[in-house]
Amino acid sequence: MASAEAGSTQSRWLPSLVGLHGGRCRRGPNSYAFCMGLSDCTIVTADTKFFIMSTADTFHEISPFLVHRLILSFIGEVKNIKKLKSGDLLIEVSNSNQAKSLSRLTELGDLKVSVSVHRNLNFSRGVISERGLKKHTESELIQELSEQKVCAARRIHIKRDGKLIPTQHVVLTFSTTELPKSIKAGYLSCPVKPYIPNPVRCFKCQKFGHSQQACKGSKICAKCSVSGHDSSDCISDEVKCRNCQGAHPAFSRSCPQWALEKEILTTKIRKNISFAEARRLVSERSPKPGVTYSSAVKQCAYCGSHTTPQGIQKNFPRSSTQPAPAPSDSVQIPNKSSIREKTLATVSHPLKDKQIPKQKETVKATDNTDNVKKLQRIKETKAAKRARLAALKKNKD
């Protein structure tokens, strides 16, 4: 009998495609949700791009040059080929003709091979929330939305008072790698939001990232993190998380490691990147242990080292190109005779002594001198003119 913790966790989770393995359906609680409306799980459509090729001896011991030449001769140049850790080949085809030829392939030269549709890469999942579709069953939704490449549907349930209550939220699986922004349900236009599943946690070793069937570790209690027994048989009063060492069980939603794994999944799905790249992006923007916010703010922008504000002022003095502060209202421009003396006495800032008062005094003194010279030239010219006119008049007489 499964533990109560495992059953409650599975009931809370949104549906996933864990019932598929290499494109072949395994009979389980989630296999019906995916295969509903499909005659065969290995069906190939025009949007199928990714296939798994396997052989009894695996491809670890087979020459990659030989395999590449055989694939070229049978189906042509494909878009990409990658060998997985299991020894199988992940093949991405370029068009639908290659997909049909590859799906029917049973022999590759002298090798007996089996080809299946990849379980996740050929599909995308989204969530619709429409009150008008609440009375429709999952099979009815698949039948009505099949023309929009919907191949599976699963209604989300919530648990209240020990009973599962259906909601208006439905997880749709599309047989295409690109998730549509909306679908038409009759006359209704339903927006499609990306489906972000909860992190997968192993019920055996309590670590994230794999299931109990693929676990190679030892059995760890989810409550006290001690090996050798399940959480249903735990009699310890101590509660300790296996992942973060906190005072909570490993299945708690308040676990910081669970929140981190959830953020990694969200980044992967929304940015359409790999798990490794999503984990790197999340770890870069996550706070580092032992580094506080105040010390991060004081980090030097030039060398990256942490220093104090006093050290920053010593290392980087105030630039001389900064604008000088405006003169205060109490500073007045003195008379022409004592400009320099009164300026030195009243103004204490060195920049004001050198720049502002000296410039004003020089400009005004220059203007007064020019005006005096102009007036003198004008007076002399009129006097000479009168003298010249008087001399001319005297000569005439």
For 297-331, what is each residue's pLDDT tens digit?
555 555 555 554 444 444 444 544 455 555 444 44
Scanning the structure block, which residue is given the tokens 């409650």?
8
User: What pLDDT sits at residue 309?
Assistant: 47
Q: Please tell me the predicted confidence (pLDDT) of residue 255.
A: 92
- What's residue 185's pLDDT? 92
> Tell me, what's the pLDDT at 287?
66
Tell me, what's the pLDDT at 35?
Answer: 36
| Phi-psi sector, 254: left (phi>0), alpha (psi -120 to 50), beta | alpha
Question: For residue 72, what pLDDT is reported?
Answer: 92
Listed as ranges, residues in the chain with pLDDT below 70 are 1-42, 287-380, 397
Q: How many CB atoms lie within 10 A of CB 130?
A: 16
What is this structure's pTM? 0.54
Q: What does the pLDDT read at residue 10?
A: 37
Cβ neighbours of 102 (radius 10 Å): 21
Quote the CA–CA distance of 57 and 38 in Å, as a whole number.
31
Q: How many CB atoms lie within 10 A of CB 91?
A: 22
pLDDT of 283 reads: 87
Diameter of the chain measured on Cα atoms? 149
- Output the pLDDT for position 297: 54
Q: What 3-state DSSP class applies to 234?
A: coil
Residues 6 or more apart in contact with residue 144 via CB below 8 angstroms: 136, 185, 186
